Amino acid sequence: MSMKEYIAQEDTPHRARAVRKLTGSWARMLQIIKVSFPEEWEKANNPPPPPKPAAKPKPKVYV
């Protein structure tokens, strides 16, 4: 998530500027999350593939 995306969210626990003040930069904060929480990082950055479309029913042939 970029800093602009974070700022656009309404339910963030901290201001983006406060996060940058603690970590030094937004990229550093992302790196800390990636190293400290690798499973959550993968879930957030690699969403599951979209579901396959449902198979169309075969048309009935009346003889």
Model confidence over 8-49: pLDDT tens digits? 888 888 888 888 888 888 889 889 989 999 998 888 888 778
> What's the domain count of the chain?
1
Angle, CA 16 vertex, CA 31 and CA 46 arms, to 5°: 45
Residues 6+ apart with CB under 8 A from 47: none
- Is residue 37 assigned to a domain? yes
Does 63 have pLDDT greater than 80? Answer: no
- Is residue 61 assigned to a domain? no
Domain extent at residue 36:
3-45
- Is residue 21 assigned to a domain? yes
